[in-house]
Amino acid sequence: MNHGVFDYIIIGAGSAGCLLANRLTQNPNTTVLLLEAGAKDDYIWIHIPVGYLYCIDNPRTDWQFKTEPIVGLNHRSLLYPRGKGLGGCSSINGMIYMRGQAEDYDLWAALTEEPDWNWEASLKRYKQFENYHGGNNEWHSNQGEWQISQQRLNWKILEKFKEAAVDFGVPESFDFNQGNNHGVGYFDVNQKNGWRLNTSKAFLKQAAKRPNLTMITGAYVDTLDIDSQTKQCKGVHFIGGGQTHYASTQNEVLLSAGSIGSVQILERSGVGQGPLLQELGIPVIHNVPGVGENMQDHLQLRMIYKVNGIETLNTKVRTWYGKGLIALEYLLKRSGPMSMAPSQLGMFTHSSTNHKRPNLQYHIQPLSLERFGEDLHSFNAFTASVCNLRPTSRGSVHITSRDVMAKPKIQPNYLSTKEDQRVAVEAIRLTRNIVERGPLKAYSPEELKPGVVLQNDDELIQAAAEIGTTIFHPVGTCKMGAPKDSMSVLDANLFVKGIHGLRVVDASGMPNITSGNTAAPTMMMAQRIAERLK
């Protein structure tokens, strides 16, 4: 079935794709086709903040990927959630609004030889789409669609951890998004009146009313239509409703399927590592060795502490009475545990004096469990998850078949460098030092994971391998770079090098991971491209 010709075709209605669709359709003379493999975002648990528990590893909202066994994690394989459906990962993520550090963007500018990626330029773009709870100021704007709210909860255990961190020497922070996120404080979240705000509600709801946007869900993109001679991307082949479909573009295809999905589509289309594609029987349209390489992610070390004499969510949900009170509070006030982002209290600090800027991020939670998807522990405890913000380990993602539905091979290679192992050891020791401070000491914290019997460097590296897991921030698999960078896939304007009329606009284009959560930086990248196209 032929769907006609559009000015732009956007593949993926996630954090980047929804913003692009909104911005491009603001021009009534521009026609846009938006393709999304998943369904509409009409599943209730997408919108209740705590509903991420029911969205991750749910085929309705998650691609349900798994990694290969990872040597650095004692050969464990991890669940690797990626959002599926309108809103993409913004429908299942932690809702944390985090830009990172100014130096992240200045490094992008240096690596791409494009000053327009620097912190000053990026800050202006953040202001274009955000609606900040504190109003307009030097760092924020309240004119955009992306609501940034304060959290609607209160936990004494979180306050005590914050006091312990301040006692240790970490300054209190009331805004992590001013270019230097050093400090401890509560995360700002993308919620509106106690509901999750995903990019579908923020950007697509308005765009969908415009006659120049055509949106198709349940559309699994098979291949891009790229002329083997001219290297011009002319359109998209996709599958939906048991039929094959085709749509063409007279301007550009904007690939926004994410750090996993964009690689899959490029490789199925003959753009990638020549030997890999030939092995799978895929004609090589353009040999690009960097496709699927340079994968970076934040590995979190989930340290768990049992406490006494202070309530956590573990015991609050043990009875039907407690659950009833939680539900009633959310029903009446849109606050309390059901309004909780997965992590509430944050901290950015240094693992050692060797780091000039914060290289650790903490996500502190008033709860604990053995592993994701299982019940909370029956005793009071909190979790202090800590991740290395700028890992040196590099992984990869590649297709294993031409089949649209075949799962890719994902290998993050966590803890594969001595530097990452050293930071992991430092992070565990630093956490112990903070927990031992007076404000928490009164509650007799007992380290359940990894366990205080593990003390020397080798033992702590093994501990990190046991408690480490993804915090869901894969980036860099189609990185942008300078002309001389032979492993970069994209130029500074996110065009696929050597292909005309094709850009990749999502987190895969980051040359280096940002120092924090990656959803907002992905949206900023889309904002820059939308401005250039308009």
Helix (H) or strand (E) holding 323, with range, is helix 320-333
Question: Quick check: 152 pLDDT over 90?
Answer: no
pLDDT grade for 331, boundaries at 50, 70 and 90: confident
Identify the burial level of 251 via C-beta atoms within 10 angstroms of its C-beta, where 0-12 means exposed, 13-18 middle and 19 or more buried.
middle
SS3 25: coil
- CA 215 centroid distance within chain: 24
pLDDT grade for 34, boundaries at 50, 70 and 90: very high
Mean pLDDT of 399-426: 98
Q: Which two tokens stand for residue 87?
A: 């809103």
Rounded distance between C-alpha atoms, residue 316 and residue 526, angstroms = 41
Q: What is the pLDDT of residues 176-196, one digit of tens each?
A: 999 999 999 999 999 999 999
- Residue 529 contacts residue 494 (beta carbons within 8 Å): yes
Nearest to residue 121, comparing CAs of 144, 104, 143?
Answer: 104
- Between residues 202 and 323, which one has the greater pLDDT? 202
pLDDT confidence of residue 323 = 79
Question: Quick check: 521 pLDDT over 90?
Answer: yes
Rounded distance between C-alpha atoms, residue 450 and residue 428, angstroms = 9
Q: Which two tokens stand for residue 369?
A: 């469990």
pLDDT confidence of residue 10 = 98
Rounded distance between C-alpha atoms, residue 327 and residue 318, angstroms = 14
pLDDT confidence of residue 445 = 95
pLDDT grade for 339, boundaries at 50, 70 and 90: confident
Rounded distance between C-alpha atoms, residue 73 and residue 414, angstroms = 7
pLDDT confidence of residue 321 = 77
pLDDT confidence of residue 314 = 87
How is domain 1-41+85-98+188-256+267-293+474-534 classified at the CATH fold level?
A: FAD/NAD(P)-binding domain (3.50.50)
- Residue 490 contacts residue 475 (beta carbons within 8 Å): no
Query: From residue 79, how far is each of 72, 97, 108, 471 by CA, in Å?
Result: 16, 23, 30, 11
- Residue 208 contacts residue 215 (beta carbons within 8 Å): yes
pLDDT confidence of residue 341 = 86
pLDDT grade for 494, boundaries at 50, 70 and 90: very high
By annotation, the residues acting in catalysis are 473
Q: What is the pLDDT of residues 101-143, one digit of tens each?
A: 999 999 999 999 999 999 999 999 999 999 999 999 999 999 9
Rounded distance between C-alpha atoms, residue 122 and residue 116, angstroms = 8
pLDDT grade for 1, boundaries at 50, 70 and 90: confident
Q: Which two tokens stand for residue 137?
A: 């100021």
Q: Which CATH number applies to 63-79+152-186+298-471? A: 3.30.560.10
Rounded distance between C-alpha atoms, residue 141 and residue 134, angstroms = 8
Rounded distance between C-alpha atoms, residue 213 and residue 221, angstroms = 18
Rounded distance between C-alpha atoms, residue 12 and residue 4, angstroms = 19
Q: What is the pLDDT of residues 228-258, one digit of tens each?
A: 999 999 999 999 988 999 999 999 999 999 9
Side-chain half-sphere CA neighbours of 9 within 13 A = 27
pLDDT confidence of residue 140 = 97
pLDDT confidence of residue 329 = 85
Rounded distance between C-alpha atoms, residue 533 and residue 111, angstroms = 23
- Residue 384 contacts residue 403 (beta carbons within 8 Å): no
Rounded distance between C-alpha atoms, residue 185 and residue 363, angstroms = 10
Mean pLDDT of 443-454: 93
Percentage helix, strand, coil, to 5, in the chain? Answer: 30, 25, 45
Identify the burial level of 160 via C-beta atoms within 10 angstroms of its C-beta, where 0-12 means exposed, 13-18 middle and 19 or more buried.
buried
pLDDT grade for 3, boundaries at 50, 70 and 90: confident
Q: What is the pLDDT of residues 60-117, one digit of tens each?
A: 999 999 999 999 999 999 999 999 999 999 999 999 999 999 999 999 999 999 999 9
pLDDT grade for 438, boundaries at 50, 70 and 90: confident
pLDDT confidence of residue 333 = 82
pLDDT confidence of residue 181 = 95
Question: Quick check: 205 pLDDT over 90?
Answer: yes
Rounded distance between C-alpha atoms, residue 113 and residue 18, angstroms = 28
SS3 10: strand
pLDDT confidence of residue 319 = 79
- Between residues 322 and 505, which one has the greater pLDDT? 505
Looking at the chain, the domain(s) classified CATH 3.50.50.60 span: 1-41+85-98+188-256+267-293+474-534
Q: Which backbone phi and psi does 25 adopt, to 5 degrees?
A: -80, -5
SS (H, E, C) 128-159: HHEEECCCCCCCCCECCCEEEECCCCCCHHHH
Looking at the chain, the domain(s) classified CATH 3.30.560.10 span: 63-79+152-186+298-471
Q: Which has the minimum average pLDDT: 223-232, 321-330, 481-490, 505-514?
A: 321-330
Q: What is the pLDDT of residues 156-174, one digit of tens each?
A: 999 999 999 999 999 999 9
Q: Which two tokens stand for residue 373?
A: 């998807």
Question: Quick check: 376 pLDDT over 90?
Answer: no
Question: Quick check: 372 pLDDT over 80?
Answer: no
Question: Quick check: 455 pLDDT over 80?
Answer: yes
pLDDT confidence of residue 454 = 84
Rounded distance between C-alpha atoms, residue 36 and residue 87, angstroms = 9
